[in-house]
């Protein structure tokens, strides 16, 4: 097996060093804020198994950059709302850190939920029940 020069953990650490991270309590306080758009990048099966943050937009990690890009045939209008604060989340904050860094690199301002959905549930954040 080829030895990696950069590990997945390294990539996450590098991303976290240059993006905005939102603490769970702060996002719980903003969950009803109409200026905050929470974006769930988890796989659909994760959402079906564990539930979702109420009102969160689902944008699968594999399509996110395409949905954000207005020049992409996959563009979604939800990402074209001027003045909104976009906060991405995954289960533990790793995928969302990488995704946020990628969007920031594209010129799209976004932050991410530092400890992810798992911490959201642990902290008592509201959750729409699982659908599966």
Kindly state which CATH superfamily the domain 30-122 is placed in.
Rhodanese-like domain (3.40.250.10)
pLDDT tens, position by position, for the chain (132 residues)?
A: 889 999 999 999 999 999 999 999 999 999 999 999 999 999 999 999 999 999 999 999 999 999 999 999 999 999 999 999 999 999 999 999 999 999 999 999 999 999 999 999 999 999 999 876
Angle at 37 between CA 33 and CA 42, to 5 degrees: 130
Q: Is the pTM above the cut of 0.85? A: yes
**81 is written with which tokens?**
């709302």
β-strand 36-40 against 20-22: which pairing, if any? unpaired
The whole-number pLDDT of residue 132 equals: 63
User: Edge-to-edge strand order for the sheet containing 111-113?
Assistant: 20-22, 111-113, 85-89, 36-40, 57-58
């Amino acid at each position: 097996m080829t030895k990696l020069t950069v590990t997945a953990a390294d990539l996450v650490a590098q991303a976290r060093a240059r993006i905005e991270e939102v603490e769970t309590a702060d996002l719980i306080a903003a969950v009803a804020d109409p200026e905050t758009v929470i974006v769930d990048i988890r796989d659909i099966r994760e959402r079906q198994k564990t539930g979702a943050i109420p009102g969160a937009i689902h944008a699968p990690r594999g399509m996110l950059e395409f949905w954000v890009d207005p020049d992409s045939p996959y563009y979604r209008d939800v990402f074209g709302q001027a003045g909104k604060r976009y906060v991405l989340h995954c289960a533990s904050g790793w995928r969302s850190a990488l995704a946020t860094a990628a969007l920031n690199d594209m010129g799209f301002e976004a932050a991410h939920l530092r400890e992810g959905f798992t911490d959201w549930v642990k902290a008592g954040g509201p959750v729409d029940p699982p659908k599966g």
